[in-house]
Structure 1
Amino acid sequence: MPTRSSAERSAYDREEQWSGGEMIITRNTDECEQTLARCGNHAICINTIGSFYCLCEPGYKERSNKKEFNVLNGQCLDINECLDIKDICGPNAYCNNTIGNYTCTCHSGYAKLHASSGKCNDIDECEDREKKNEGICGVNGTCKNTNGSFWCQCPSGYTNYGNERTPCSELKCDQFTGTSATSSKSHGGLADILSQMKRSCLALSQTDLSGKRIHGPTVLLNSLFNMMEDFLSEYDTGDSVAVSGLLSAVEDSIKFIGPQLSDDQTSMNTSQTEAKIVVWKKKTPPSGPLHLTNTNASLKTDWSTANGNGTYPGFALAALLSYKNLENTLNQSFEQIILPQKNGRRPSYQVFSKVVSAVVSNPDTQHLDRPVIITLRHLQELGESTEVSYTCAYWKAAEGGLQEEEGGAWSTVGCTQVTSNASHTVCSCEHLSSFAVLMALYPMNHTFGLMLLTKLGLVISLLCLALCILTFKFCHSIKGTRTTIHLHLCICLFLADLVFLAGISQTKPQGGCRLVAALLHLFFLGAFSWMLLEGVQLYRMVVLVFNATIRPLYLHAVGYGVPLTIVLISAISRPTGYSTDQFCWLSVEHGLIWSFFGPVCVVISLNVFFFSVTVWKLAQKCSSLNPDLTHLHKIRAFTVTAIAQLCVLGLMWLSGVFLFNEEALVTAYIFTILNSLQGALIFLLNCLLSKQVREEYAKLLSCVCPQPKKYSDFSSTNRSSQSQVRKTLLPSPWTVQHESMF
């Protein structure tokens, strides 16, 4: 409200008049100074002679649009300039109404040329940054200014990770090359995946003139998972080099494709993999807890783990990927796992959870500021005990990736077990990689006793088999098809026991261990093949009476050719199945064990059939009118011997099937005893219980240790002549006919 000085107010408020010769002085009352005459809020009171009126302050208007009013018939209200005055701030600014005024805020990418100017003009971000020598799009990017904004055009091999206003970063697509052009073809289709990943990597930087990407990230992600599924479904991933290459390629691909995704969360689920990807794409980096979970695992960490300590690139990524069947492939390479022994017992290991990969956008995950918590679900519910314990491990790829001969191995460095129950294990790790729970299996307390029993029994068995081989080779009185079969049966068992004794537990080096397993596979299959031939020979002796001899060529083709064929096919198709973590034998996890147990079951079934027919025919011949008892007794003895051998060898390996049960102590002792004493059994049945062999042994002993003569030469000559006459008269036609067969 305007004010006046005292002198001015005195002259203004006083009026002098003369009346009747007297001067009358009257004063004007200033209603604006009276409390009752206020004009209200946001109004100015104007005093007049004998009155006053009100005017609204700037930024306000009278509600009836009156210019002048008094307190009784008017009120000042705020003027909303943003609504009443069109484009008061121009097209490139926001208008913000305030009480009695307004302000103009420029849109992003616009600014006022001068502080007093009311119009907002486009900012040329590219020119401003270049004047300051700051590459807004990076050293290799090209800045493209637009009206109110800009975007970065990245050359081939560079990308801005889906945020067009961030600097271009090098993609390093050569990391997907590896040795894909040459040696990766031997890694079961990995070359195709690596080639596709490199093309996809380069496609991330291909843009049209408007900055829109030609290849959508969703298409690339789907392509990645489809190729992974084909690779894991169709190819043999037993090679740890190929597995390491696959894990590395998948993690790197997710790091580059994930930030391009438009959705904050993306889930993928195929028959081979399950993944969850979360992406943060805002101006400021994320903070707070980060929790990812899927069917088989969960990841608990903080967003700072994904951000890292470097410059914020405009996004943050975290992903949890679970492989549904990779635990069988990676159930090996435990050399770097060292757990304390229990009562002198060294554990063996096996993967007991799904293999899980944790991926973040942070390029440096080898030494995290704070550990991540990973919870892994067991393959089956099994609590810890004196024989079972769990440990957390990660797959440590060899330096250089696919260029190394060894692809990687399990390691526990940087990972510790927080807690475990029957169904889950919680791990704390100071780095990120591919993780799994390893189950440590401690041998039974009776292992030493079994080992001692096995070694003693095998030594006895080897001695007995050596005697059998010498007997069947040099004892001419028992020459025949059946003796040939027994000779090669003993050779196979002798070589198998010798290799077993020398190399069954020599798991290093891996190539030598695989050779031992292949030899054991060959020789034990050979033993069963010759047992099958023995059953066939007995069947022919009873059914085909006058043509029971089998040509040696056929014997060797079946006895050695069939086992060798099975071993070659098995070794070519599944080479990693030969050897386990603890023994040099066929792997159960890879299913190769059935290339042994399958033929064994077939041989046992066929021999049971042949022996059943043989016994039935023998019973018929014995009940006939003119049975040749000498011949029938001989065949019966052969049959009983063959059945005993089949029972011992067959029962031994059938009991071996149940050794994979955790509580198989009795079965383990049965297997060990039968396996150790099979040579002694063959020597007993075929040598010591044979009269002809005993006579040959007696002759040999008489030559080695001659005894003094008790009779005269005449008596001996006479007795010998009588014996020769008796031998000439006694043999029957059956005996003469079949003596050469045996």
Structure 2
Amino acid sequence: MIDLDTDSAMQREMMKLFEIKDSCLHIFPRFPEVKKYFIKLEEKMIHNIMKDSKLEAGGSKTHNLKSLSLNLNNISESDLNLTGTNSRIQIEAPQLLPQNKSFIPEIWLPVDALQHIPQEKRLVGLVSYMENTQFKFNQENISSMVVRIELLGGHRLHNLKTPIKMIFRGLEVGNIDNHSQLLCNYFDVEDTCWRTNGCETYNVTDDNRTDITCICNHTTPFAVLLMREPIAKIHWEILSYISYIGCGLSAFFTALSLVIYVFGRSHKMDYSISIHVSLSGALFLLNTTFLLTEWGATVEPDWVCVFVAALMHYSLLCCFTWMAIEALHLYLLLIKVYNTYYKHYLLKLSLAGWGIPAVIVGISLGVKDFKQFYGVTHMTMSDTNQTNSICWITDDSFFYSLNLLYFTLIFVFNSGILVAVASSICKMKQVFRSRSRLGAEGEGGKTWRDPQRLSESCRGGLTVLGLTCLMGTTWGLAFMGSGYVNLPILYLFCILNSTQGFFIFLWICLSAKKQRKREMEERLSSTPVKNTTLKSD
């Protein structure tokens, strides 16, 4: 074996390419297009180095470059002189870490596939990478060295009868939970994502370390990734049907709520109904946007998917915000009884309900030069190795840190309001009972107001309690069921999420009915007064 330094022009160009990458660390991780172009340019340079390497049959060379090492092997006929239909020949990958030889995987290539390649083109290149930042597009947890297999002229081995065999030894498994697993993956250069299609994984674990055997039927960059346990096909299909049918029904009922509000509203309509309808509008926007997530991932240009993902995030935050406004309105109505008149009250609530989420999403979109938070995300079905692309938040840490914090603050706020309302209801009950026992006839005007206010407090408390339980429980389950592993939580989330629009629609109808009944009673009570006045004249 000959160890060559950077003596050729192509090797110097490769070194320069990695120097550019290392000098632009503030740009390289943030722009997927730059990474994709880098990978393709690197692949082209590797093929040029292979083309310039003049090796005799059976010869080999090692090119030690910055951040990677390339082993070239010209496979001779004598090397392939093996027997057996499933026979393979072992090819040594280049060693980047001499102190840890077990880090380099053992690789066997199928003899029958190599025999179909002419001798002059039977040059195999194995690349070992010191780092893997260029292969990370969606915060993948790459647990092994990335190794790629290249053939002269860009020739690919695919649909192999005798698959390629790789063994990654001594991988750490101490931090793996019950819902994660080590899986063999290949890197799809065109779609810039890791996939498991055509690869099977076998592992043997001993003392928190495991040996992973990868059996793959094609040649590409390979690695072992620590992945969440994906959802099976049957559950995927059932949950998809529940989600789409449920969101469609929820969108229908929320739209119906808006129509009833627009055509049935009056000047005396209670603010509570307007707030209920605003929450219903946020749900309508969320459900309709959800129905577009898969479509947006297939549309060009890319900004369409970014727009759909950002709009869905905005509508989700609007739902949380209007849920908090429901509790705030109840507090002002039932707890802070005096001095509750606010000029342009509904306008101010609307600015908060629709404006705060807009500011959050606007800032998230504004930092796209630093980090792109919205775009295409990929989900995998375990027993089919198929991926499903949707438009959503691409950064898991951003999703959970922002949304979970926002949801928690609103849930705690609503819980505090509910405690205050419950305490107020208990106090009013005690006052009402004490007055009833004393028989305070002289305060009849006040005693009849106490049960009315008590009834309004109970109804308002039940409203916020119902909305908090309905939406709070639903989205709490969404955060609890992170990943696609807890099937009962996922099914419960999909079912509850499907009923939100329907229950809010029923509540709006009941509120509107009570409003009309109240207006009718006011008109009837005012009629005798007018008749008496006419008679006295």
Change (3 A) 1:366 1:674: same
Which residue of 418, 424, 443 corresponds with 1:611?
418
Change (3 A) 1:434 1:728: farther
Q: Shift of residue 529 of structure 1?
A: 1.1
Amino acid at match of 2:285: L
Q: How does 1:513-524 map to 2 (within 5 A)?
A: 513-524=305-316
User: What do the CA deviations read for 1:532-560 (whole angstroms, capped 9, x no partner)?
Assistant: 12222222232252224363442232111
Which residue of 569, 587, 591 corresponds with 2:363?
569
* Residue correspondences, number: 444
**Which residue in 1 is equivalent to 2:56?**
none
CA contact (8 A) 2:21 2:28 kept: no
**Which residue in 1 is equivalent to 2:287?**
497
Which residue of 454, 458, 481 corresponds with 2:247?
458
- Whose helix proportion is higher, 1 or 2? 2
**Which residue in 2 is equivalent to 1:591?**
397
**Which residue in 1 is equivalent to 2:456?**
634
CA contact (8 A) 1:326 1:355 kept: no
User: What do the CA deviations read for 1:118-154 (whole angstroms, capped 9, x no partner)?
Assistant: xxxxxxxxxxxxxxxxxxxxxxxxxxxxxxxxxxxxx
Amino acid at match of 1:197: K
Change (3 A) 1:409 1:556: same
Amino acid at match of 2:137: T
1:537 aligns with 2:329: yes
Q: How does 1:282-681 map to 2 (within 5 A)?
A: 290-292=92-94, 297-300=104-107, 319-323=127-131, 328-329=136-137, 353-354=143-144, 356-358=146-148, 364=153, 366=155, 374-376=166-168, 392-396=185-189, 408=192, 417=199, 420-421=202-203, 423=210, 424-427=212-215, 431=219, 434-437=221-224, 441=230, 443-473=232-262, 474-476=264-266, 479-504=269-294, 507-509=297-299, 511=302, 512-541=304-333, 542-543=335-336, 545-549=338-342, 551-572=345-366, 573=368, 574-575=371-372, 577-581=374-378, 582=388, 584-587=390-393, 590-594=396-400, 595-624=402-431, 628-629=449-450, 630-681=452-503
Amino acid at match of 2:269: K
Query: Residues of 1 paired with 2:125 and 2:233: CA distance?
Result: 47
User: What do the CA deviations read for 1:217-240 (whole angstroms, capped 9, x no partner)?
Assistant: xxxxxxx57x756756x4563644
SS of the residue corresponding to residue 547 of structure 1 reads coil
SS of the residue corresponding to residue 605 of structure 1 reads helix
Of 626-635 and 482-491, more deviation after overlay is shown by 626-635
Query: Residues of 2 paired with 1:599 and 1:530: CA distance?
Result: 12
Query: Residues of 2 paired with 1:516 and 1:728: CA distance?
Result: 61
Query: Residues of 1 paired with 2:406 and 2:454: CA distance?
Result: 31
Change (3 A) 1:688 1:554: closer
Q: Shift of residue 319 of structure 1?
A: 4.9
**Which residue in 2 is equivalent to 1:69?**
none
Q: Shift of residue 677 of structure 1?
A: 0.9
Amino acid at match of 2:372: P
Q: Shift of residue 295 of structure 1?
A: 6.6
Amino acid at match of 1:443: A
Change (3 A) 1:363 1:441: same
Change (3 A) 1:485 1:297: farther
Query: Residues of 2 paired with 1:279 and 1:498: CA distance?
Result: 54
**Which residue in 2 is equivalent to 1:63?**
none
**Which residue in 1 is equivalent to 2:87?**
none
CA contact (8 A) 1:296 1:376 kept: yes
Q: How does 1:197-208 map to 2 (within 5 A)?
A: 197=16
Structure 2 residue runs of 5 or longer lacking an equivalent are: 54-61, 74-89, 96-100, 205-209, 379-387, 436-445, 533-537
Query: Residues of 1 paired with 2:531 and 2:453: CA distance?
Result: 18
Amino acid at match of 1:568: G
SS of the residue corresponding to residue 392 of structure 2 reads coil
Which residue of 16, 30, 35 corresponds with 1:243?
35
Query: Residues of 1 paired with 2:530 and 2:243: CA distance?
Result: 47
SS of the residue corresponding to residue 654 of structure 1 reads helix
Query: Residues of 2 paired with 1:521 and 1:436: CA distance?
Result: 33
Of 460-469 and 664-673, more deviation after overlay is shown by 460-469
CA contact (8 A) 1:327 1:355 kept: no
Q: Shift of residue 674 of structure 1?
A: 1.3
Query: Residues of 2 paired with 1:725 and 1:482: CA distance?
Result: 30
Percent identity for Structure 1 against Structure 2: 18
**Which residue in 1 is equivalent to 2:82?**
none
Query: Residues of 2 paired with 1:163 and 1:616: CA distance?
Result: 78
Change (3 A) 1:484 1:237: same
Amino acid at match of 2:258: I
Query: Residues of 2 paired with 1:430 and 1:447: CA distance?
Result: 27
Change (3 A) 1:228 1:506: closer
Root-mean-square deviation (CA, aligned residues, Å) is: 5.2
CA contact (8 A) 1:320 1:357 kept: yes
Report 1 or 2 for greater relative contact order, CA contacts < 8 Å, sequence distance ≥ 6: 2
Query: Residues of 2 paired with 1:366 and 1:412: CA distance?
Result: 21
Change (3 A) 1:494 1:395: closer
CA contact (8 A) 1:327 1:354 kept: no
Structure 1 residue runs of 5 or longer lacking an equivalent are: 1-159, 177-195, 199-223, 281-287, 332-349, 398-406, 700-719, 730-742
SS of the residue corresponding to residue 186 of structure 2 reads strand
Q: Shift of residue 487 of structure 1?
A: 2.3
User: What do the CA deviations read for 1:19-56 (whole angstroms, capped 9, x no partner)?
Assistant: xxxxxxxxxxxxxxxxxxxxxxxxxxxxxxxxxxxxxx
Amino acid at match of 1:682: I
Query: Residues of 1 paired with 2:268 and 2:501: CA distance?
Result: 19
Amino acid at match of 2:357: P
Q: Shift of residue 526 of structure 1?
A: 0.9
**Which residue in 2 is equivalent to 1:14?**
none
Q: Shift of residue 513 of structure 1?
A: 3.8
Change (3 A) 1:636 1:425: same
Query: Residues of 2 paired with 1:231 and 1:295: CA distance?
Result: 32
Q: Shift of residue 644 of structure 1?
A: 0.7
Query: Residues of 1 paired with 2:506 and 2:513: CA distance?
Result: 12
CA contact (8 A) 1:462 1:498 kept: yes
**Which residue in 1 is equivalent to 2:504?**
682
Change (3 A) 1:231 1:170: closer
TM-score by length of 1: 0.49
Determine which structure has more spread, i.e. the larger CA radius of gyration. Answer: 1
Q: Shift of residue 161 of structure 1?
A: 6.4
Amino acid at match of 1:461: S
Query: Residues of 2 paired with 1:460 and 1:392: CA distance?
Result: 39
Change (3 A) 1:496 1:365: closer
SS of the residue corresponding to residue 105 of structure 2 reads strand
Q: Shift of residue 651 of structure 1?
A: 0.5
User: What do the CA deviations read for 1:159-213 (whole angstroms, capped 9, x no partner)?
Assistant: x96599xxxx54497x77xxxxxxxxxxxxxxxxxxx816xxxxxxxxxxxxxxx
Of 548-557 and 606-615, more deviation after overlay is shown by 548-557
SS of the residue corresponding to residue 421 of structure 1 reads strand
Query: Residues of 1 paired with 2:530 and 2:484: CA distance?
Result: 61
Change (3 A) 1:427 1:320: farther
